Amino acid sequence: MDLALENQVVIVTGGAKGIGAAIVELLAAEGAVPVIVGRNAQDNAAQLSRVCDAGGRALAITAELGETADCERAVRETVEQLGRVDGLVNNAGINDGISLSQGTTEQFLTSLRRNLVHYFDMARFCLPHLRATKGAIVNIGSKVAETGQGGTSAYAAANGGRNALTREWAVELLGDEIRVNAVIVAECWTPLYEKWINTLSDPQETLARIEARIPLGKRMTSSEEIANAVAFLLSPRSSHTTGQLLHIDGGYTHLDRALA
């Protein structure tokens, strides 16, 4: 299916690694122009090089998304260099383990800025341009908002906020014909996930135990599978889809645990 994304300018936060990188690479392969936004200039440049080497087009902007001024600058530079914004993928974030029993209020608030506030900032600064193009927003979220995990109050709260903002923006922007959806991730294999699992005493045993709980295929979701869903939600092929929380997780979040 042609997703009709040719020449569409799509900002992807955290687009240099993991899920964000897979989204950037798929969008470029579809003829879109992804804008990689993240704090690490070297990572951004490496991802830009990969896209260009594969025959695609992209732009890289170094920005600290926890700073509102950097979010504004990232959008402004995108428009200055590419002339428009057709889509926004809010993806950047980290499960930072700020818990109720050990965390402080200051840590909790810092985590919300790191994992939620920039979703609002990026959407706010993109809004005039998305109105002009009748574009789309896709928020990446986590099953932690719905299932809990233990030991990660701030990240769970941030993801609950992402889900709520997805529905709220879908309502608020109906008149602008801007579609807003979310892709919810559960157990997805990324470099960050691999780094975490390798800190454990028996990584392979833990990984096997996690995979055994995933109903469809007893395997982790791939970053490419998340990217496929994001590209569809950005494209006009999903022209009557808004306010949805789409779980790409092999049934992990909702199917009966007896299956595992």
Catalytic amino acids? 155
Contact indicator for 238, 177 with CB cutoff of 8 Å: no
> Cα–Cα distances in Å, from 117 out to 125, 157, 165?
13, 12, 11
Both tokens of 49, joined, read 């090089």
DSSP label at residue 67: S
Q: What is the rounded distance in angstroms from the CA atom of residue 23 to the CA atom of residue 42?
A: 19
Helix (H), strand (E) at residue 221: strand 221-222
Biggest CA–CA distance in the chain, Å, is 53
Alpha helices for 65-152 (secondary structure H) = 68-82, 105-112, 118-133, 144-147
Q: Could you tell me the sign of the dihedral formed by the alpha carbons of 153, 158, 159, 161, in that order? A: positive
Amino acid making up residue 47 = Q
